[in-house]
Amino acid sequence: MHLDKNHLRRQLRQARKSLTGYRRDRQQQRIRHFLTAIPQVRHARRIAAYLPFDGEPDLLPFMRRVESKIWLPMIRSDWHLDFRPTCKLNALARRPINARRNRFGILESQRLPILRSAQMDVILMPLVGFDHHGNRLGMGAGFYDRSLVGLRRPRPALIGIAFDCQQTASVPVDPWDVPLDYIVTNRGIIKTNHNQARKPE
């Protein structure tokens, strides 16, 4: 484990959390706007998204518009992610009976069926930090890295979602780190040289 990863995490989580009020609302709106301009997102049948946690950008207005396409991550006991359909997202944010907080306090859908990452067309990932090469720094558990190992082409488009204050010159990379195809921020869409995503149908 990189010590410098942990140092960066502390710094960038703080930056993400300190973005508040009107500035946060405006930047989130811009992120959602740019996100819907990506062809793979527009044409996707299954989109893995997330419920915002620890100051992550809030995609709920977008997720509600395309609710039938949205899948939410669940953490398996082996620390891989699978994906479940949403319960009604309005209700989910208020914690209905069929959603449950996992061991990290994140709400999870309890609905069936359960699908693997390979069955998604697009995977929207929150992140703590990123660089322009598409390297992603997560919260430090490696959930996405573990779940994206061995994906074969055509594979889902891997899209990081971030505020521009989360960008750093260079994220330390370990051998297991899976890079992103795109990063969507309030400033626009960064297409990285890792882009090998499924072509829109």
Neighbours of 129 (CB within 10 A): 25
Q: Which of 39, 61, 113, 140 binds ligand ADP (CB under 6 A)?
A: 140
Name the residue nearer to ligand ADP (CB basis): 61 or 140: 140
Among the candidate windows 112-120, 148-156, 172-180, 190-198, which touches Mg ion by CB under 5 A? Answer: 172-180
Contact 16, 53 (CB under 8 A): no
Name the residue nearer to ligand ADP (CB basis): 5 or 13: 5
Amino acid at 129: G
| Contact mark string toward Mg ion, 123..162, x via CB under 5 A | ----------------------x-----------------
Q: What are phi and psi of 47, to 5 degrees?
A: -120, 120
**Residue 173 binds Mg ion (CB under 5 A):** no
Task: Tell me how far apart the alpha carbons of residues 193 and 196 are, in angstroms, rounded to a whole number.
Answer: 9
Task: Tell me how far apart the alpha carbons of residues 179 and 14 are, in angstroms, rounded to a whole number.
Answer: 23
**Residue 145 binds ligand ADP (CB under 6 A):** yes
Task: Tell me how far apart the alpha carbons of residues 159 and 13 are, in angstroms, rounded to a whole number.
Answer: 19
What does the block give as tokens for 40?
């793979």
Which residues in this chain contact ligand ADP in the complex, by CB under 6 A?
A: 1, 5, 137-142, 145-146, 149, 174, 176-177
Q: Which residues bind Mg ion (CB under 5 A)?
A: 145, 177
